[in-house]
Structure 1
Amino acid sequence: MDSIYENVADLHSITDTVGKRPQNKGNPTQKQEKQREDPSSKWSKVFLIILSVSLAFALGGVCALWILYVNKIADFESRNEQYIMVSKQLLAQEKNNIIMMKELEELKSNYSEVTEQLLFNAAQSCNISLGGWISCLGKLYFFSSGKLNWSCSQDDCVSKGANLVTITSKQEQEFLVSKINMTHWIGLNDLDTEGHWVWVNNQTLDTQVQFWFSVGQREPDNWKEEDPLGENCASLGDHLGNYNTWFDASCKKHKRYICERNINLTPSVKWKMSV
């Protein structure tokens, strides 16, 4: 009997040992499941980290774009303000230019009126002096202070935009005589054909308008005592003081001279003179 009890006790001991072993080592199926769950958990964390970083970058990009947009808007507004300011300045300048143009036109108009009045007065008078020239009846006359031969006298008149004087009326003759106290060259000669007197403008001497000396020895006489070529140029007056008549003389002689040029009269001045 004692041996049977001993065997039963041993059997219980073995049974307890077998029953306890799995409890100490744990459940192998749960452990494997935990091992299977761990990789997916890690990838989830990695995904979340990547997603967070991406969102952070995206948010940063959005912020940067917003800042750029705000700066662009501010720059646009600043440029727009500058454009408006420049436009206002240009408009103001344009208005000033218009005002200045109107004032300039008024000045031109006033200047034209004054010039026309001066020309009219000059044309009507024989006493107005304009820059060394004396006006009379629509012409300007220059009385030289130096002496030249006839040819050089004409050249000097041409350099002044004029010619030696051409006398075409008794009134002009009297005016010239009133301004001189010694002999002066005039623009009359017979250099090409002896006895055929022409003016420097190529107009033949009018037989009705001539003022040759006619007392005693009549002029022109083509005297050749001093110049074998004769006397082929005309002067107003001679060395004896006969200033109201013409004399032929050697073209080589040096005398004072009278230049003449027309006044450029405007149509309105001509109209005033004709009234």
Structure 2
Amino acid sequence: MRQLEKCSIVTARDTMRQLEKCSIVTARDTMRQLEKCSIVTARDTMRQLEKCSIVTARDTMRQLEKCSIVTARDNETTRKVQHSGSDRSGPSVRERNTPSLKFLVVALSLLLLCALVALCVVGVLYFSKGVSSESVSDQCASAVEPMSAQLHNATAAAEQLKSHLHQVQANYENALRNIASFNETERKYEELKVKSRKAHEAFSNCSDCQNCALCGDGWKPFGVKCYYFSTDKLNWMNSRDHCAEKGGHLVIITSQAEQDFLALHLHENHWIGLNDLETEGKWMWVNHQSLTETGVTFWYKRSGQPNEPDNWKNEDPSGENCAELHSSDTWFDASCHKLKKYVCVKDKLNFF
């Protein structure tokens, strides 16, 4: 035992002390070195490991050789010193501890390698997570911007539609008021029309008024007017001129009562003061009033065939441009050149 102490045989405890003296990098030192070197990605980690000279398994073995940790040469020298007492004492303590020492060195090297691999994996995962978070953030930002623009456009469109809706609602209310006003006007007009017809009929049926209405020979009184039913036949133009010579004009029919009165005295067709000589299809009375202004029409209507006026041109190529009052109490268009009886009218006031 004393001889072993003199020869300074390295034990396991001496080996650990030598490792501490040689500053062999442990897992904790590796972590500190990685923090100092600011490793970012897996590739950067490998590069930084090379730059920082992190001890690998080979470096560990080299450090052990530099620190004069027991080598094969030391073992040989020790064996020479111990040769004299080898027969009595048997195998030395150092020889017995050499396999354990090698095993310890290999274990430490493997531990360091595992620590390095783990740090590389952690670095890769951390970098991937950081890149993925930045990518998601960029995608979210790029998606939010167009959505914000679309929201702004939709808000502006909604405001515009709202203003249009208010305008349409205002126009609709104005239209309702106008319709109500028109309906009221039409109702009053119908009431006045009925009252006028009743007054007209009452005045016509008054025998005293009929006796005092001096219309003249051949004229028949009705209301405030006198009517002349011709016995001769003329074309429409000559009939118009002849009525003017007698102080009147071809009859203008403005009511159902007047239409009924004329039909009672007709036994054949008579010219009336209606024509479309100036514009085809635009029928005008001899006083230049349109049918729309007088408000009454009594054209003949056929079932399954064109109604009157039909402007038939088989007899006259120029068409049928003058109106006649038929004995059936309806109007027909006819050729203005045909010879027909006619009805003239004038006011009674001309004779009072």
TM-score scaled by length of structure 2? 0.38
Q: Name which structure has the greater RCO, CA cutoff 8 Å, separation 6+.
A: 1
Bigger radius of gyration among the two: 2
Greater helix proportion: 2
TM-score by length of 1: 0.48
